[in-house]
Amino acid sequence: MTGTEILAPDDTGIARAAALLRAGELVSFPTETVYGLGADATNGAAVARIFDAKGRPRFNPLIVHLPSLDAVADYAVLEGDALRLAQAFWPGPLTLVLPVRAGSGLSPLVSAGLPTVALRVPDHPLARRLLAETGRPVAAPSANPSGRISPTEAAHVLAGLDGRIAAVLDGGPCPVGVESTIVGLAPAPVLLRPGGLPAEAIEACLGAPLALHGPDEAINAPGQLLSHYAPRAAIRLDAETARPGERLLGFGPVAGAALNLSPSGDLVEAAANLFHHLHRLDAEGDMPIAVSPVPEIGLGRAINDRLRRAAAPRG
Ligand code: TXA
Ligand code: MG
């Protein structure tokens, strides 16, 4: 493959992106969380190409994207608490891990052999138009090389995957900025990954606390490897100030920050800026990065989860 096509967010661009997906090609597209690397989820060769393009070491299961709640019944069993969550939060930054429906037509690679499938209806006008026009379920992990920072702009996608994918649909920056919250139902609801929908909102909808995934995390959410989202520089968390030679990634009204996730301490703004700022610091060199403390509430849980992974020993 030579260059990656950059498609405009208009009728022509969407039609081209949909045609490429139907032809089994890889197309990156914006969602409200991060850019996804999409492939037709019913086409095993296309799904396999996702792992190849990302350089994923293993066949981790992927999230399948659908244009609306009505499309879910063809692919998965949606009832009880799962149905309530879907009705409350779709379209939106929530992924539900559901029993896969027999005869779904989904490639088994999508689920990595599990009897479940992760589904999501994204809340981004371009994603929804693309999914409707493609007319197929679209498997999409984040559009970054394996282990690197997730992309929240088309330029981030190209920096990591130019020449390895057919096209990127350029919809500007992603408004939420961290990946979706993943909830499993086993059968009681369990938080598999904190993300763009705060766990508190899910608990309010269910009227009960969410169980957290335990030490069998590797089985529940197999893609959640510890070292992930990593820039090249070392990262130190919960830093009140930067030490000599460090660059401070601030949160709140801190002095001397190289970049600040949210000078006013707004967690929604910080989530939207997180990967953007990490990409910038990564592009500017490998001097160590110190990060201000971020409170463990609301979107702070997703931000801290990604920061801990970025700071984890590289494996
Ligand atoms: O916001 C998002 O969720 C983005 C956008 C593109 O939609 N996608 C995304 O996909 O973050 P990805 O592949 O980076 O993360 C998917 C995670 C996997 O790491 C895995 O842990 C979990 O979803 N997953 C997928 N299928 C699963 C299943 N059947 N059972 C348990 N976990 C599953
Ligand atoms: Mg990812």
Interval 225-260: pLDDT, tens: 555 678 889 999 999 999 999 999 999 999 999 999
Ligand 1 mean position to 63 CA, how many Å? 5
For residue 282, pLDDT over 50 is answered with: yes
Among 161, 187, 220, give the residue marking a domain's end.
Answer: 220
Among 220, 251, 277, give the residue marking a domain's end.
Answer: 220
- Tell me which residue range forms the domain holding 246: 235-311
Q: Confirm whether 299 is domain-assigned.
A: yes
Report the nearest atom of ligand 1 relative to the CA of 65: 7
Cα-flanking dihedrals φ and ψ of residue 117, to 5°? -135, 140
Across the beta sheet with 247-250, the strand order is: 235-236, 289-291, 247-250, 259-260
Q: Whose CA is nearest to atom 31 of ligand 1?
A: 221
State whether 271 and 215 are in the same domain.
no
Q: Confirm whether 110 is domain-assigned.
A: yes
Q: Confirm whether 225 is domain-assigned.
A: no
Q: What is the CATH number of the domain that holds 197?
A: 3.90.870.10
**CA–CA distance, 111 with 61 (Å, rounded to integer):** 5
For residue 121, pLDDT over 60 is answered with: yes
Ligand 2 mean position to 256 CA, how many Å? 31
138 lines ligand 1 (CB under 6 A): no
Report the relative pairing of strands 189-193 and 181-185 from DSSP bridges.
Answer: antiparallel
State whether 42 and 172 are in the same domain.
yes
State whether 61 and 102 are in the same domain.
yes
107 lines ligand 1 (CB under 6 A): no
Q: Confirm whether 228 is domain-assigned.
A: no
Q: Confirm whether 230 is domain-assigned.
A: no
* Structural domain count, the chain: 2
Among 220, 253, 287, give the residue marking a domain's end.
Answer: 220
State whether 115 and 255 are in the same domain.
no
Report the nearest atom of ligand 1 relative to the CA of 193: 21
Tokens 């799904």 identify what position? 47
pLDDT of residue 224: 55
126 lines ligand 1 (CB under 6 A): no
pLDDT in tens, 149-195: 999 999 999 999 999 999 999 999 999 999 999 999 978 899 999 99
State whether 197 and 150 are in the same domain.
yes
State whether 249 and 203 are in the same domain.
no
Q: Whose CA is nearest to atom 6 of ligand 1?
A: 36
pTM above 0.80, yes or no: yes
114 lines ligand 1 (CB under 6 A): yes
State whether 154 and 298 are in the same domain.
no
146 lines ligand 1 (CB under 6 A): no
pLDDT of residue 225: 55
pLDDT in tens, 69-103: 999 999 999 999 999 999 999 999 999 999 999 99
Cα-flanking dihedrals φ and ψ of residue 27, to 5°? -130, 125
State whether 245 and 200 are in the same domain.
no
Report the relative pairing of strands 5-7 and 63-65 from DSSP bridges.
Answer: unpaired
Local confidence band at 219 (pLDDT 50, 70, 90 cut-offs): very low
Q: Whose CA is nearest to atom 32 of ligand 1?
A: 221
